[in-house]
């Protein structure tokens, strides 16, 4: 092949690749948006900035109606904050579909204005600027006015009943069988010459049930001191031991029998749950108390203690605020204080006007709260039924009956 033929072939290939020999070259695709300019998205509407109610003046709430181009033709939203000097600051970028923003980076009692810009392909479409708004601190939270009213009702009731009790008026307190039987149970133990066993639960003094048990212990030990009987009180906490010893000692002194008190009446056993229960069961089997009192916080040991006391023929009075243990006490004990009866026992036994007034005042508060719950439940039930058409159908039926008649 000659050099001239090779050169001609190369030239032919170059011309064909370049679209020579009369072939049309493809036209470039023209982007009309680049020619006419992209259109800005529609701005947001009804933008509103409000002070967030009932806080410490640290938040402003911003609301708006989203752009009509949301979400197909926008990238999102930008929130700008303008301070009192007119300086603008971008505070947050938000996703499409957002209609609110809570600004928690503001100062108290400083005026601010806001702009929400819709971000699209052609740029940002700003909204109208909001009027000036300040994050203010409110002294009174009106959203909790119902709690204030309930507090006034309860406090007023307590003061009223305390005043009534001090004036000599006898306040009605529902009889509690377990507390009514306390003196009889102590008297029976005295007649039989056998001790009274008092168990104040297995928790420490930081539990309210233990405190209630120690309060009842003061009343029970006073009766025991008057009858010159004997009390056994094994405990599982050292602080409970110290408190119980002081309580019993004071009761014996009030009864005029200080020489009848002995520190061995209250004995510390162990903090370990079932080790303590085993020791108490041993005491019950050996000493055979005529009366067993279980008052306080109990757990898995409740049935063990109650069954052991039942096996020795003792009168048993129990009380706890733990719902899971109440069935065991009810099944194995003669009397059971249920729930709040344990906490009402001190007022019931002492007859102190302040305690009785507080107890009656709390009852009034419970009645008001329960009435509000019942009325609210009924109102919501009827409202839901009306929305579903049940009430309207019922009214139509009743109307047709009366109209027909």
Judge whether residue 246 has pLDDT over 90.
yes
Residue with tokens 């949301």: 70
Asked whether residue 267 is domain-assigned, the answer is yes
Same domain, 238 and 366: no
Q: How do residues 356-370 score in pLDDT, each as one tens digit? A: 888 888 888 888 889
Looking at the DSSP assignment, which residues form a beta bridge with residue 134? 111
The phi, psi pair for 215, rounded to 5°, reads -65, -45
The rounded Cα 149 to chain-centroid distance in angstroms is 20
| Domain end position, chosen among 306, 324, 351 | 351
Asked whether residue 89 is domain-assigned, the answer is yes
Tell me the average pLDDT across 328-340: 92
234 and 199 Cβ atoms separated by less than 8 Å: yes
Q: How do residues 72-92 score in pLDDT, each as one tens digit? A: 889 999 999 999 888 999 999
CATH classification at residue 94: 2.60.40.10
**Among 351, 360, 367, 345, CA closest to 159:** 360
Between CA 241 and CA 67 the distance in angstroms is: 72
323 and 331 Cβ atoms separated by less than 8 Å: no
Between CA 70 and CA 265 the distance in angstroms is: 80
Q: How many residues are given for the chain?
A: 405
245 and 221 Cβ atoms separated by less than 8 Å: no
Residue 93 to residues 118, 154, 318, Cα–Cα distance (Å): 10, 50, 63
Tell me the average pLDDT across 324-351: 88
Tell me the average pLDDT across 304-328: 93
Same domain, 224 and 277: yes
Same domain, 306 and 181: yes
**Residues contacting residue 22 through CB under 8 Å, at least 6 positions apart:** none
**Among 158, 214, 188, CA closest to 316:** 188
Same domain, 314 and 293: yes
Between CA 280 and CA 272 the distance in angstroms is: 12
Residue 256 to residues 247, 252, 350, Cα–Cα distance (Å): 15, 6, 18
The rounded Cα 313 to chain-centroid distance in angstroms is 43
pLDDT band at residue 350 using 50, 70 and 90 as cut-offs: confident
The pairing of strands 60-65 and 45-51 is antiparallel
* pLDDT score for 349: 81
Token digits of residue 264? 């061995």
Q: How do residues 54-63 score in pLDDT, each as one tens digit? A: 888 889 999 9
94 and 25 Cβ atoms separated by less than 8 Å: no
Between CA 150 and CA 210 the distance in angstroms is: 29
Tell me the average pLDDT across 145-160: 87
* pLDDT score for 183: 87
Residue 339 to residues 235, 291, 396, Cα–Cα distance (Å): 22, 21, 47
Same domain, 80 and 196: no
* pLDDT score for 31: 35
pLDDT band at residue 199 using 50, 70 and 90 as cut-offs: very high
Between CA 4 and CA 6 the distance in angstroms is: 6
In this structure, how many other beta carbons lie within 10 angstroms of the beta carbon of residue 281?
A: 17
Range of the domain at 120: 45-134
Token digits of residue 167? 């004036």
Judge whether residue 294 has pLDDT over 50.
yes
Of the segments 23-27, 336-340, 382-386, which one has the largest average pLDDT value? Answer: 336-340
Asked whether residue 35 is domain-assigned, the answer is no
Same domain, 304 and 162: no
Same domain, 79 and 164: no
Q: How do residues 83-138 score in pLDDT, each as one tens digit? A: 988 899 999 999 999 999 999 999 888 999 999 999 998 889 999 999 999 998 88
Domain count, the chain: 3
Asked whether residue 4 is domain-assigned, the answer is no
Same domain, 226 and 333: yes
Asked whether residue 37 is domain-assigned, the answer is no
Same domain, 71 and 125: yes
Q: How do residues 391-404 score in pLDDT, each as one tens digit? A: 667 677 777 776 65
* Percentage above 70 pLDDT, the chain: 88
Between CA 132 and CA 50 the distance in angstroms is: 9
pLDDT band at residue 317 using 50, 70 and 90 as cut-offs: very high
Handedness of CA 60, 63, 69, 70 (dihedral sign): positive
Between CA 118 and CA 76 the distance in angstroms is: 6
Average pLDDT for the chain: 85
Same domain, 154 and 74: no
Asked whether residue 400 is domain-assigned, the answer is yes
Asked whether residue 357 is domain-assigned, the answer is no
**Among 284, 273, 287, CA closest to 306:** 284
Asked whether residue 160 is domain-assigned, the answer is yes
Looking at the DSSP assignment, which residues form a beta bridge with residue 102? 61
* pLDDT score for 291: 95
- Map residue 182 onto helix, strand or coil: helix
């Amino acid at each position: 092949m000659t050099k001239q033929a090779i050169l001609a072939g190369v030239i032919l290939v170059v011309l064909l690749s370049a679209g020579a020999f009369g072939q049309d070259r493809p036209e470039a695709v023209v982007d009309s948006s680049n020619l006419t300019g992209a259109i800005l998205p529609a701005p947001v509407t009804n933008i509103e900035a409000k002070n967030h109610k009932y806080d410490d003046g640290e938040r402003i709430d911003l609301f708006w109606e989203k752009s009509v181009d949301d979400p197909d033709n926008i990238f999102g939203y930008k929130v700008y904050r303008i301070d009192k000097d007119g300086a603008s600051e971008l505070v947050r970028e938000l996703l499409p579909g957002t209609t609110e923003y809570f600004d928690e980076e503001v100062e108290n009692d400083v005026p601010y204005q806001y702009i929400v810009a819709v971000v699209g392909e052609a740029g940002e479409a700003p909204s109208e600027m909001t009027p000036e708004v300040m994050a203010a601190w409110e002294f009174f939270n009106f959203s909790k006015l119902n709690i204030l009213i309930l507090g006034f009702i309860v406090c007023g009731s307590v003061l009223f009943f305390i005043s009534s009790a001090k004036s000599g008026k006898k306040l009605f307190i529902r009889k509690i069988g377990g507390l009514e039987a306390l003196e009889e149970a102590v008297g029976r133990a005295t007649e039989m010459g056998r001790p009274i066993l008092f168990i104040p639960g297995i928790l420490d003094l930081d539990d309210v049930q233990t405190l209630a048990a120690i309060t009842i212990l003061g009343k029970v030990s006073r009766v025991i001191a008057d009858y010159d009987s004997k009390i056994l009180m094994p405990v599982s906490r050292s602080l409970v031991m110290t408190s119980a010893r002081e309580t019993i000692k004071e009761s014996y002194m009030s009864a005029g029998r200080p020489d009848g008190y002995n520190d061995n009446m209250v004995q510390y056993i162990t903090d370990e749950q079932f080790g303590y229960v085993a020791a108490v069961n041993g005491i019950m089997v050996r000493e055979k108390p005529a009366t067993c009192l279980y008052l306080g916080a109990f757990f898995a040991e409740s049935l063990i203690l109650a069954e052991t006391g039942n096996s020795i023929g003792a009168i048993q009075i129990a009380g706890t605020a733990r719902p899971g243990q109440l069935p065991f006490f009810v099944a194995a004990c003669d009397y059971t204080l249920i729930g709040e009866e344990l906490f009402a026992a001190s007022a019931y036994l002492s007859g102190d006007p302040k305690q009785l007034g507080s107890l009656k005042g709390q009852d009034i508060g419970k009645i008001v709260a329960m009435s509000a719950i019942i009325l609210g439940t009924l109102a919501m039930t009827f409202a839901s039924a009306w929305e579903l058409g049940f009430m309207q159908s019922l009214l139509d039926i009743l109307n047709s009956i009366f109209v027909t008649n």
